[in-house]
Amino acid sequence: MSNYQITNPFSGELIEEYSLAGRAEVEAALGKLVAGRQIQQVTPAFERSEILLRLASLLRAHREHLARLITEETGKTISDSRIEIERAYNTALASAMEARGVHGEALDSDAFPPQRERIGVVMWKPLGTVLCITPFNFPINIAIHKIGPAFAAGNTILFKPGPQNKRSAECLLQLCYEAGIHETVLQMVIADIEATSWAVAHPQVHAINFTGGTAAANAIAARAGYKKLLFELGGNDPLIVMHDADLDAAVAAAINQRFATAGQRCTAAKRLYVHAAVYDNFARKLVAATEALKVGDPMEEDTFVGPLIHAGAADQVEQRVNAAVAAGARVLCGHKRAGNILWPTVLENVPDDAALVVEETFGPVIPLRRFDNIEEVVDLVNNSAFGLQAGIFTQHLGLAKMLFNRLEVGLLALNDGPGFRAEHFPFGGVKESGIGREGVRYAIREMSYQKTLVI
């Protein structure tokens, strides 16, 4: 086992030091979950629904405590953390509603010859035990997006949160138990890499629901064998601003969906393509709005941009900005640093092959790119390893429909940014952005299998 230190990303204060779990702890947790499957088998859907309703109420009752834990652990602003808890409430509520609505279908065998006079009753059944692995940036809501549907489907759950999120995850675990989820149905381990890898390959783990980076996903897939995989991975999400766009609304979307959470979101607006006819006006408005943002202590109510999760993350973003500038990019605002805080930065003339644009850059940086022809944008967007979400501002519905058909993404938001998410909508991408779909109803199906009774 190895030690892990939780430090406040803003102050650098040591919050807690603890030992990561090893193989023995993971094995013990899995043993409990195997026994817990019997509890899930005899727990009817309406009881699972009622438990999830209680969990939703408990999340709302403890929202301020949870929000403060998130801010201390991650550096997310307190206002952003409160929004996360409200979203987690909605996710638990949606899980409760969908738990009652898992339904199958009846098939007539006589649809094709020969006549057999049989009926096939098709139902959805739980896979068994689901390993849920969550990242640092939305430690409660993403956890509920995994635990809620997995529990609603009738599975047992091995929950592995990010090591930085130990205290918020422990609080969530206790709320789950208080709501009525039995401890043999939900176990939490914060394991080291070796023990996590061992769990991935364990025969008593039947599905892996992972949110994180591509490299970790590749390692999980190589170890998982014939398990169900549900991966929500990275994004390099474009925001397109056409000549007929509402520029003020587009600027607001760019600010909120790139600089919130200090840009550490998979659906953040990471590439901005602006039509030449409105480029100068849009850039002026964007820079003015960016410079008006308060940067600093995430616990202060009006702070909009706090620190990145740790120094290594800030180093990587800063290095990519420096490399883009060295290659000819021009800084319109920002490009300052204090500790783990990077000031929100807007650049233009960034080369299309710069790492800042090509890779998923997890930080508060907007690269602006002027365009004349939408075909150019389609090629640029699709020439990416990622394909999560996209947004376009335009009054031309036909153009939006064309882009919906041609852009290689999982969602296109009209007159909104790529960061749009509703907890009950399908969520996921193509290419290296993931496998399968989250969103409560869809995640329940992902963590179930179809079983047929012929009568």
Give the model's pLDDT for residue 176. Answer: 98
Q: Mean pLDDT in the chain?
A: 97
State yes or no: pLDDT of 418 exceeds 70: yes
Q: Do domains 3-233+433-454 and 237-422 have the same CATH topology?
A: no
State yes or no: pLDDT of 174 exceeds 60: yes
pLDDT digits (tens, 9 = 90+) for 213-256: 999 999 999 999 999 999 999 999 999 999 999 999 999 999 99
| Nearest Cα residue to 152 out of 213, 223, 103 | 103
pLDDT digits (tens, 9 = 90+) for 291-328: 999 999 999 999 999 999 999 999 999 999 999 999 99
Contacts of 209 (CB under 8 A, 6+ apart): 130, 131, 132, 133, 146, 150, 230, 443, 446, 447
Which of 3.40.605.10, 3.40.50.300, 3.40.640.10, 3.30.70.2190 is the CATH number of 3-233+433-454?
Answer: 3.40.605.10
Please report, rounded to a whole number, the percentage of residues in the chain having pLDDT higher than 70: 100
Report whether the peptide linkage leading into residue 163 is cis, meaning its omega lies within 30 degrees of zero: no
pTM: 0.97
When pLDDT is cut at 50, 70 and 90, the band that residue 2 belongs to is confident
Q: Are the beta carbons of 366 and 311 closer than 8 angstroms?
A: no
Point out the catalytic residue in the list 25, 73, 84, 232: 232
Beta carbons within 10 angstroms of residue 42's beta carbon: 7
Give dist(CA 18, CA 118) in Å, integer.
59
Type of residue numbered 83: I
Please state which CATH class domain 237-422 belongs to.
Answer: alpha beta
Cα→Cα distances 174→14, 49, 181, 241, 444, Å: 24, 18, 10, 45, 23
Domain extent listing, the chain: 3-233+433-454, 237-422
When pLDDT is cut at 50, 70 and 90, the band that residue 1 belongs to is low
Q: Is 300 part of the annotated catalytic residue set?
A: no
Q: Are the beta carbons of 403 and 411 closer than 8 angstroms?
A: no
